[in-house]
Each structure stands twice: as structure tokens, then as C-alpha cells.
């Protein structure tokens, strides 16, 4: 899909508006140890600290990435929702990997996952891509590239050597069942009471003598 210049401008404004909702707050420490908070990133010669309450998804916070790419990841985190035996999902994943986009992956597999996807996007089609608050339903190389460009992601791979993408996770976290409670141990049976001693005459004691 080809977007005209006005549509690209509107796309950029849309992404900016979506990212403003999750504007990060930066913690700056000067040379005297004074701490201040600002919505502006630290100066280029100052090591930035992690934003407080940033909108990045877990696993895509940008740790270890180049500074400019880290800012984009923190403002517009990318998450792809995929399914098993989904050919477009594999193509979409390869596109993001080849371009060097840091992203999280959520796998839709169980009925709970499907319900969660329905609540998230209003439909059950895969793949689904989110860039910040923006959703792209179905894979389209041209459309996805346009939105990634507008968000500020580099057009070529700039990931550092040795970068490891977070492993894919189920959309709905699997909760482990509680271990079964041990069966109650039955109480030992009471020993039978001894037979009362004979008090009257018996064949071996015809007189009934008590000792």
C-alpha cells in the first residue's frame, strides 16, 4: 500500500499523539548529585537513566541499544502477536528481525489467548502488530514499513552484535496449578479391649475361687 505525503504527515501526527500518552519521565543527576525530573532526555554526553514508568513492553525496554534507537523503543514499543502454523506470522517476524526492530512476541494458542486477542483488537486475525498505541491488523510489508518509519525506527539494522531478542511468550500467562494436598492418613485402629476375667465357676475352677 502506497501512502501519499499528506497521509504520511497524518500518520506521523497519529503516532506522536499515541506516544504522548506514554511520555517517559527522565531522572537526571547533575555533577553535584542533585536529582531532577524532566520529560526531556539527558544531554548527549550524559548517560541516560531508565525512564520512570516508561511505556515500553517487558523485554523491549531498549537496554543495551544505541541511544537514538533506545528512545524510539521506549516511546513506541513494538509487539507482534502470532500463532502456530501461521505463514504470514513467520513472514512478519522475519521482516522485523531483518530490519533490526526490537520487539516482543506474544503467541496466541489457547482459548484464553484467543479471548484476550479479541478483547485487544476486536477480531481474531493474525498477525497483529502494535507500535505504541497503534494497531496494524494483518501483515502488509508496505504498511508496516510506513508506520515504523513514522515512529522513527531506522530503515536498516542497527542492533548491536550479540543482541538477543526476548523469547516469545503466551498472550495469557500460564498459571501453574497448586500441588495436590496429601491424602489424610487414617488413624490406627484401636486395639481390642481384653476380655473380662471370669468371675463365676468354670470347668477349670468349679469353685469360682478368686486369686
The answer to whether the beta carbons of residues 128 and 81 sit under 8 Å apart is: yes
How far CA 207 is from CA of 195, 198, 199, in Å, comes to 21, 12, 10
pTM of the model: 0.57
Whole-angstrom Cα distance, residue 131 to residue 98? 17
Give the pLDDT of the chain (211 residues) as one tens digit per residue: 434 445 544 454 445 444 444 444 445 556 665 555 555 555 544 443 333 333 333 345 566 899 999 999 999 999 999 999 999 999 999 999 999 999 999 999 999 999 999 999 998 899 999 999 999 999 999 999 999 999 999 999 999 988 999 999 999 986 555 566 676 667 677 666 666 655 566 666 665 555 4
Amino acid at each position: 500500500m502506497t501512502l501519499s505525503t499528506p497521509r504520511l504527515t497524518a500518520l506521523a501526527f497519529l503516532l506522536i499523539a499515541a506516544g504522548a500518552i506514554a511520555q517517559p519521565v527522565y531522572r537526571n543527576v547533575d555533577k553535584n548529585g542533585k536529582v531532577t525530573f524532566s520529560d526531556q532526555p539527558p544531554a548527549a554526553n550524559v548517560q541516560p537513566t531508565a525512564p520512570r514508568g516508561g511505556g515500553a513492553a517487558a523485554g523491549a525496554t531498549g537496554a543495551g541499544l544505541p541511544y537514538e534507537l533506545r528512545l524510539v523503543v521506549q516511546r513506541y514499543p513494538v509487539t507482534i502477536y502470532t500463532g502456530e502454523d501461521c505463514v504470514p506470522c513467520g513472514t512478519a517476524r522475519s521482516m522485523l528481525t531483518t530490519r533490526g526492530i526490537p520487539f516482543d512476541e506474544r503467541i496466541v494458542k489457547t482459548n484464553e489467548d484467543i479471548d484476550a486477542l479479541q478483547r485487544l483488537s476486536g477480531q481474531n486475525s493474525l498477525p497483529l502488530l502494535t507500535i505504541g498505541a497503534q494497531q496494524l491488523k494483518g501483515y502488509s510489508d508496505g504498511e508496516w514499513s510506513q508506520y515504523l518509519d513514522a515512529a522513527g525506527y531506522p530503515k536498516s539494522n542497527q542492533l548491536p552484535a550479540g543482541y538477543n531478542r526476548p523469547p516469545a511468550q503466551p498472550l495469557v500467562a500460564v498459571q501453574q496449578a497448586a500441588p495436590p494436598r496429601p491424602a489424610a492418613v487414617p488413624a490406627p485402629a484401636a486395639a481390642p479391649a481384653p476380655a473380662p476375667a471370669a468371675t463365676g465357676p468354670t470347668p477349670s475352677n468349679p469353685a469360682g475361687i478368686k486369686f
